[in-house]
């Protein structure tokens, strides 16, 4: 029996230039329409100026940080565009 964490599959992410997530999806190769959905996701990521990444997820690993949970503090960073501001 192996102590290695079990793979849960792959995810595609749309990230800002500081590495925070804005978009995310599970890759489900056996699902009908997955290839088109993934293609549309990657196109949307690129259209919005974000970086696409694909990672394998394992049980117990930490999920990357989302915009809104953190931001980098750089006023010119893409993450600033996605932060919710308090409305009066």
pLDDT in tens, 21-46: 999 999 998 999 999 999 999 999 99
Average pLDDT over residues 52-80: 87
Vertex 54, ends 21 and 30: CA angle to 5°? Answer: 115
Q: Which residue has the higher pLDDT, 14 or 66?
A: 14
pLDDT confidence bin for 79, thresholds 50/70/90: confident
What contacts 84, CB < 8 A, 6 or more positions away? 68
Rounded-to-integer distance, Cα 35 and Cα 29, Å: 7
Q: What is the pLDDT of residue 1?
A: 57
For the whole model, what pTM was predicted? 0.80
């Amino acid at each position: 029996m192996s102590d290695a964490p079990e793979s849960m599959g792959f995810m595609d992410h749309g990230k800002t230039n500081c590495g925070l997530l804005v978009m995310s999806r599970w890759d489900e190769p056996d699902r009908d329409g997955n290839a088109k959905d993934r293609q549309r996701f990657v196109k949307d990521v690129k259209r919005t100026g974000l970086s696409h990444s694909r990672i394998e997820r394992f049980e117990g690993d930490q999920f990357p940080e989302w915009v809104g949970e953190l931001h980098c503090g750089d006023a010119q960073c893409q993450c600033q565009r996605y932060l919710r501001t308090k409305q009066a």
